[in-house]
């Protein structure tokens, strides 16, 4: 049959199936292939909190959304062009995210009586047969049957054969999008090389899927998505948690300090622990503590001992660490505290994203306890931002909070990674000499208001530190009222002074003065960027600035804000940055808030821009 | 725990370990004696002063580091064990001492306490047990006896107390000992033993709080009844006690029985203490009834209940780093950053 080949500039595919169907793997394989081909891309995995929710049900649906293109891509996309539905539940859960006229690739075997019942379809209803999907292009393939046929001679059991189903779908999509399969073939070799029968089976099914596209009349159109015009350089694909782990290792190398990670597993931060545990040959020591409190406390101990100390968690774990964060602040020891935010409060939505821990980060401690807070804006940006967090911690002798979230932690994008020698050294000088006429004053401050770091093992500098209020310079316990007020102000001044050493706020897009400024922080970057580009194309006077340093703010931020008639702050919370900006700069900023456990769609922000500027 | 001495460092004296800070425990507090014994024993250990770290939590005992001219940290309630774990993991070269109390270790810090013992970091944990909350002015603690009348339990406590030695045994502790503030010679001996042991050395120290729980250990510490109500156990020696060393303990199956050595029993019939015997240590830990006057209850044991040698967490932690370096070579940052698959845009 004559096949039609169409060139398109971007496409959004959502892979959806039962959590046992291997959709995450299918998605990441397609992603890697697209990345290696040179497409720009952004991904968003969306999986249930349960490891294996009941098979065939809607809570058991696992999804992976990929947006790739020959144009710049900023988000995983709002509505998808193609929905792969491995069963009825996957279709039911995701059909509302499919564009009108979009393509559904349905595994007909997943629409049998049992699956339809589990997905709560009415008796007798079957969307792939009854015409209810009329507004879409429906491609029905009996993936199970084809996979079993392909492996009939393999000698494998039915269970093992069925596990290769996702490869059929992947092969079919590779055909549909004119992709080279060698990266996935190489991946299969590495993953199953030691089990030749499984390797052969997966490879065979992958190729069968591709050939099925070639020979069947199922889909008349193939699509070509050319490479994207990205800045010259060498790229790799990266997920946020990976980038965070690498940023930490880079900071360890650039500061010359071995890293110690005290951590307790928690979604969605655990992968940072997993990643770092692999890199012991970088001098990384990972310690899986008995609880969140022990995790941060062990890191404080390691910091006292002179290491680059880190603790990783998510909101509920950070809540438990709060008292120890106050201790680190009083001790004025460097410590990087990582919060990969998720939906709250309480256990909340562990696998969903949210930005609702900003207040917790900035205010959430007893007493006046200022701790610098910085946030990453994208998966790749986690690298640079956590590196900056380490720099601040070590150069200013302070705990620093690094905020990421579930969206960028698990999402991925192409990254033009730096060369090691392009990264700035982080200066660390352990004190080895007395600093006051033969006496060591642990809280004597330098021009940055930072204190010296004398580590155990240093002769003659034996000293005690603790959580009780301390006397200026000596660090001895002090209940003197004047001293307490002085020290509270000193700790605040020290953190405020960091603003002198961080870059000025810059604009991502638009003029420095105008009608509307969109101020964002964290992972709203992609959707805001996309929306602002669209709005400016339509002629709207709108600018975009994304704040990395949330506490203290860059020194010029107030000035920037006052140059605009209106300020819009989109956040995945009820308006936390909004409240802080209004408080600090007395500006009547407007919030755009989404609290659905999902990132903003570009369209949602664009609509708001149009509403404000019409 | 034991740390290798550095030969060139001049001999420390007790005075070298005294800080310029005024000691602020209540007059008559048992903590003074413990501080003195620690300051006496530490110089004998030949550890350079700069390699000593004392870490405490919160409570009266936890002021201790301020009075030791070493590195020190007065941390937060219950967490000294967790902080010390991280420090020892990161810096196995240091001699780390944890100072804690019954509330700090067994109540708010109970979780870290059991995990420290399980992991067996090579540190010393001195738990001052005064069976009361002193710093908060007199509430019952997790070691206070049932029925204890305190400010928070005016009708008597309905809480059942912990048996710290049994808890430490159940937590896989590798060195478990008990001593008391009023017996400096024994306490010093236990401190030396604790330091010599490689692994977590747990020493429960009975400490009199003369303000909020005065005399709670009198029955074990006062001359008049000490010999009848206590038994000092020593490795390889029979369990003998009593005013005239006239009583002994023998095992009838798994049941300890008090026998009178003047009435036909000899030392040869008695239970010989074996610090390596976990089962017997378990039985010994259960000598825990409150001895009432002349009741014939088992005496309270003091000394090393149990000691064994097993691997320390920090050794494994650091060995894996060395192994990884030996196997893969020192990490190359450029290789890490590029990963396995890259593409170039020109």
A225-248 pLDDT per residue, tens: 999 999 999 999 999 999 999 999
Q: For position B76, what pLDDT does the model report?
A: 98
Is the CB of B86 less than 8 angstroms away from the CB of A298? yes
Q: Which CATH superfamily is domain A4-224 in?
A: Pyruvate-ferredoxin oxidoreductase, PFOR, domain III (3.40.920.10)
Tell me whether B195 touches chain A (CB under 8 Å).
no
Q: Which residues of A touch B327 (CB under 8 A)?
A: 281
pTM, full prediction: 0.94
Using pLDDT thresholds of 50, 70 and 90, give the confidence band for residue A558: very high
- Whether residue B293 has pLDDT greater than 70: no
Please check whether the two domains, A4-224 and A514-613, share a CATH topology.
Answer: no
Nearest to A463 among B71, B112, B115 (CB): B71
Would you call B341 an interface residue with chain A, using a CB distance cutoff of 8 Å?
Answer: yes
Predicted local distance difference test score (pLDDT) of residue A216: 83
Per-residue 3-state assignment (H helix, E strand, C coil) for chain B: CCCCCCCCCCCCCHHHHECCCCCCCCCCCCHHHHHHHHHHHHHHHCCCHHHEEEEECCCCHHHHHHHECCEEEECCCCCHHHHHHHHHHHCCCCEEEEEEEHHHHHHHCHHHHHHHHHHCCCCEEEEEECCCECCCCCECCCCCCCCCCECCECCCCCCCCCCHHHHHHHCCCCEEEEEECCCHHHHHHHHHHHHHCCCCEEEEEECCCCCCCCCCCHHHHCHHHHHHHEEEECCCCECEECCCCCEEEEEECCEEEEEECCCCCCHHHCCECCCCCHHHHHHHHCCCCCCCCCCCCCCEEEEEEEECCCCCHHHHHHHHHHHHHHHHCCCCHHHHHHCCCCEEEC
CB contact under 8 A, A298 and B82: yes
Q: Are A305 and B90 in contact (CB < 8 Å)?
A: yes
Mean predicted confidence (pLDDT) in B317-341 = 96
How large is the average pLDDT for residues B277-288? 96
Q: How far is A181 from chain B (nearest CA, A)?
A: 14
**What homologous superfamily does CATH list for B14-216?**
Thiamin diphosphate (ThDP)-binding fold, Pyr/PP domains (3.40.50.970)
Phi, psi of A91 (to 5 degrees): -70, -50
Q: How far apart are CA A303 and CA A393, in angstroms?
A: 11
Tell me which chain B residue has its CA closest to the CA of residue A279: B331
Condensed to tens digits (0 to 9), the pLDDT of residues A248-290 reads 999 999 999 999 999 999 999 999 999 999 999 999 999 999 9
Q: Return mean pLDDT, chain B.
A: 94
Three-class DSSP category at A70: coil
pLDDT (mean) for A91-113 = 94
Dihedral sign, CA of A405, A411, A415, A419? positive
At A280, is the secondary structure helix, strand, or coil? helix
Q: Does domain A236-422 have CATH number 3.40.50.300?
A: no
Structure tokens at B335: 């290789």
Does B316 touch chain A if contact means CB atoms closer than 8 Å? no
Query: What is the number of CB-based contacts under 8 A between chain A and chain B?
Result: 210
CA distance A243 to chain B (A): 9
Closest Cα in chain B, distance from residue A210 (Å): 23
| Dihedral angle over CA of B308, B311, B312, B317, nearest 10 | -170
Per-residue pLDDT, A4: 79
Q: Are A461 and B89 in contact (CB < 8 Å)? A: no
Tell me what the mean pLDDT of segment B286-305 comes to: 83
Q: Span B221-249, mean pLDDT?
A: 94
Model pLDDT, residue B251: 95
Check CB contact of B324 with chain A, cutoff 8 Å. yes
Residue A1 has pLDDT above 50, yes or no: no
Query: What CATH topology corresponds to A514-613?
Result: Rossmann fold (3.40.50)
Q: Which residues of B touch A287 (CB under 8 A)?
A: 85-86, 89, 317
Closest-approach residue (CA) in chain B for A308: B90
> Quick check: B292 pLDDT over 80?
no
ipTM confidence: 0.96
Per domain, the residue ranges of chain A are 4-224, 236-422, 514-613
The answer to whether the Cβ–Cβ distance between A464 and B74 falls below 8 Å is yes
* Alpha carbons A411 and A379: distance in angstroms, whole number: 6
Q: A464 with B72: CB under 8 angstroms? A: yes
pLDDT band for position B294 (50/70/90)?
Answer: low
Q: Say yes or no: A447 contacts chain B, CB-CB below 8 A.
A: no
Write the pLDDT tens digit of every residue in A12-54. Answer: 999 999 988 899 999 999 999 999 999 999 999 887 767 777 8
Buried b (16+ CB within 10 A) or exposed e, B24-42: ebeeebbbbbbbebbbbbb
Decide if B313 contacts B121 (C-beta within 8 A).
yes
Is the pLDDT assigned to residue B5 strictly greater than 80? no
Question: With bands split at pLDDT 50, 70 and 90, how would you rate the model's confidence at B6?
Answer: low
Give the containing element (helix H, strand E) for A388.
Answer: helix A381-396
What pLDDT is stored for residue B173 in this prediction? 98
pLDDT in tens, A472-500: 999 999 999 999 999 999 999 999 999 99
For the CA atoms of A290, A293, A295, A300, the dihedral, rounded to the nearest 10 degrees, stands at: -140
Cβ-based burial of A421 (10 A; exposed 0-12, middle 13-18, buried ≥19): exposed
For range A569-578, the mean pLDDT: 98
Which of B76, B86, B321 faces A301 most closely, judged by CB atoms?
Answer: B86
Distances (CA, A) of A548 to A388, A471, A504, B173: 10, 34, 10, 47
Helix (H, G, I), strand (E, B) or coil at A89: helix
Distances (CA, A) of A483 to A101, A332, A478, A487: 70, 17, 7, 6
Inter-chain touch A235–B115, beta carbons under 8 Å: no
Domain residue spans of chain B: 14-216
What pLDDT was estimated at residue A3?
Answer: 62
Which of A275, A413, A227, A260 lies closest to A334, judged by CA? A260
Query: What secondary structure does DSSP assign to A155-183, as a single string?
Result: ---HHHHHTTHHHHHHHHHHHHTT---HH
The residue to which tokens 């507090």 are assigned: B29
Q: Across the interface, do B338 and A283 touch by the CB < 8 Å criterion?
A: no
- Each residue's pLDDT tens digit, B79-108: 999 999 999 999 999 999 999 999 999 999
Residue A387 forms contact with B (CB below 8 Å): no
Tell me the pLDDT tens digit for each residue of B153-212: 999 999 999 999 999 999 999 999 999 999 999 999 999 999 999 999 999 999 999 999
Query: What percent of chain A lies above the pLDDT cut of 90?
Result: 93
Nearest residue to A302 (alpha-carbon basis) of A316, A291, A287 = A287
Average pLDDT rounded to a whole number, residues A400-404: 98
Q: Give the gap in angstroms from C-alpha A172 to the nearest C-alpha of chain B.
A: 23
* Contact across the interface for A465 and B69, Cβ inside 8 Å: no
> Mind giving me the DSSP string for A194-261?
TSHHHHHHHHHHHHHHHHHHHHSSS--EEEE-PPP---SEEEEEEEHHHHHHHHHHHHHHHHT--EEE
Q: Contact at 8 Å (CB) between B194 and B1? A: yes
Average of per-residue pLDDT values in chain A: 95
Residue in A closest to B330 by C-alpha: A281
Judged by CB atoms within 8 Å, which residues 255-294 of A form the interface with B? 258, 260, 262, 279-285, 287, 289-291, 293-294
- Find the residue in B nearest to A439 (Cα): B20
Over residues A70-81, the mean pLDDT reads 93
């Amino acid at each position: 049959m004559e096949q039609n080949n169409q060139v398109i500039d971007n496409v959004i595919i959502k892979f959806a199936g039962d959590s046992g169907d291997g959709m995450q793997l299918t998605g990441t394989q397609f992603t890697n292939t697209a990345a290696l081909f040179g497409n720009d891309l952004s991904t968003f995995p969306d999986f249930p909190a349960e490891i294996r929710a009941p098979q065939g049900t809607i809570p058991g649906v696992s999804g992976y959304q990929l947006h790739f293109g020959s144009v710049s891509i900023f988000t995983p996309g709002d509505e998808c062009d193609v929905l792969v539905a491995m069963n009825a539940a996957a279709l039911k859960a995701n059909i509302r995210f499919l564009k009108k006229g979009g393509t559904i690739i349905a595994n007909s075997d997943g629409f049998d009586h049992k699956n339809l019942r589990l997905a709560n379809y009415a008796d007798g209803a079957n969307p792939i047969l009854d015409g209810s999907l009329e507004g879409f292009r429906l491609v029905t393939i009996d993936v199970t049957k084809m996979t079993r046929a392909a492996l009939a001679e393999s000698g494998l059991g039915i269970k093992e054969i069925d596990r290769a189903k996702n490869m059929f779908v992947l092969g079919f999509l590779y055909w549909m999008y004119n992709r080279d399969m060698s990266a996935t073939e190489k991946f299969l070799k590495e993953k199953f090389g030691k089990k030749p029968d499984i390797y052969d089976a997966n490879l065979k099914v992958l190729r069968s899927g591709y050939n099925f596209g070639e020979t069947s009349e199922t889909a008349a159109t193939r699509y070509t998505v050319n490479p994207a015009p990205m800045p010259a350089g060498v790229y790799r694909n990266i997920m946020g948690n990976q980038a965070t782990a690498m940023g930490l290792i880079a900071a360890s190398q650039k500061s010359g300090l071995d890293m110690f990670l005290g951590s307790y597993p928690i979604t969605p931060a655990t992968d940072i622990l997993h990643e770092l545990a692999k890199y012991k040959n970088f001098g990384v020591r990972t310690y899986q503590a008995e609880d969140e409190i022990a995790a941060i406390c062990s890191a404080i101990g390691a910091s006292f001992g002179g290491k680059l100390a880190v603790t990783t968690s998510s909101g509920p774990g950070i809540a438990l660490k709060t008292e120890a964060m106050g201790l680190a602040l009083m001790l004025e020891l460097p410590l990087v505290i990582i919060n990969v935010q998720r939906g709250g409060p309480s256990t909340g939505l562990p696998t969903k994203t949210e930005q609702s821990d900003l207040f917790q980060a900035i205010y959430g401690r007893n007493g006046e306890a200022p701790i610098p807070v910085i946030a990453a804006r994208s998966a790749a940006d986690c690298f640079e931002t956590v590196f900056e967090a380490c720099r601040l911690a070590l150069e200013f002798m302070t705990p620093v909070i690094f905020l990421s979230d579930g969206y960028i932690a698990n999402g991925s994008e192409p990254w033009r990674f730096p060369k090691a020698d392009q990264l700035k050294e982080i200066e660390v000088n352990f004190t080895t000499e007395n600093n006051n006429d033969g006496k060591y004053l642990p809280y004597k401050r330098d021009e940055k208001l930072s204190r010296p770091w004398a580590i155990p093992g240093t002769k003659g500098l034996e000293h005690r530190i603790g959580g009780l209020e301390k006397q200026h310079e000596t660090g001895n316990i002090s209940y003197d009222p004047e001293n307490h007020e002085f020290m509270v102000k000193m700790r605040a001044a020290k953190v405020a002074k960091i603003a002198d050493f961080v870059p000025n706020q810059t604009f991502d897009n638009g003029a420095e003065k105008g009608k509307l400024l969109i101020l964002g922080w964290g992972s709203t970057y992609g959707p805001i960027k996309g929306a602002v580009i669209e709005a400016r194309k339509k002629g709207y006077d709108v600018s975009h600035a994304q704040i990395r340093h949330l506490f203290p703010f860059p020194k010029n931020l107030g000035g920037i804000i006052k140059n605009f008639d209106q300020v819009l702050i989109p956040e995945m919370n009820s308006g936390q940055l909004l409240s802080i900006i209004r408080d600090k700069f007395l500006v009547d900023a407007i919030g755009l808030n989404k609290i659905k456990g999902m990132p903003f769609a570009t369209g949602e922000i664009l609509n708001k821009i149009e509403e404000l500027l019409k | 725990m034991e740390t290798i001495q550095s030969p060139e460092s001049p001999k420390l004296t007790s005075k070298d370990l005294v800080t310029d800070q005024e000691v602020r425990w209540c007059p008559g507090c048992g903590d003074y004696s413990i501080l003195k014994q620690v300051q006496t024993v530490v110089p004998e250990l030949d550890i350079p002063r700069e390699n000593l770290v004392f870490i405490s939590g919160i409570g009266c005992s936890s002021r201790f580091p301020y009075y030791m001219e070493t590195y020190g940290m007065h941390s937060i309630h219950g967490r000294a064990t967790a902080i010390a774990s991280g420090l020892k993991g990161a810096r196995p070269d240091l001699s780390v001492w944890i100072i804690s109390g019954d509330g700090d270790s067994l109540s708010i810090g109970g979780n870290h306490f059991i995990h420290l013992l399980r992991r067996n970091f090579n540190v010393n944990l001195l738990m001052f047990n005064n069976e009361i909350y002193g710093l908060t002015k007199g509430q019952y603690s997790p070691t206070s006896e049932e029925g204890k009348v305190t400010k928070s339990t005016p009708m008597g406590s309905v809480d059942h107390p912990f048996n710290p030695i049994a808890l430490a045994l159940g937590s896989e502790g590798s060195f478990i000992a008990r001593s008391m503030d009023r017996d400096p010679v024994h306490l010093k001996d236990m401190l030396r033993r604790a330091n010599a042991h490689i692994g977590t050395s747990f020493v429960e120290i009975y400490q009199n709080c003369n303000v909020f729980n005065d005399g709670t250990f009198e029955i074990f510490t006062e001359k008049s009844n000490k010999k009848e109500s206590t038994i000092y156990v020593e490795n390889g020696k029979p369990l003998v006690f009593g005013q005239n060393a006239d009583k002994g303990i023998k095992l009838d199956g798994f049941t300890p029985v008090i026998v009178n050595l003047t009435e036909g029993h000899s030392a040869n019939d008695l239970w010989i203490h074996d610090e390596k015997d976990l089962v017997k240590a378990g039985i010994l830990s259960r000598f825990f009834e409150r001895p009432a006057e002349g009741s014939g209850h088992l005496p309270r044991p003091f000394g090393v209940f149990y000691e064994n040698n097993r691997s320390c967490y920090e050794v494994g932690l650091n060995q894996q780093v060395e192994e990884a370096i030996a196997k893969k070579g020192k990490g190359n940052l450029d290789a890490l950053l590029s990963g396995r698959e890259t593409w170039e845009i020109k």
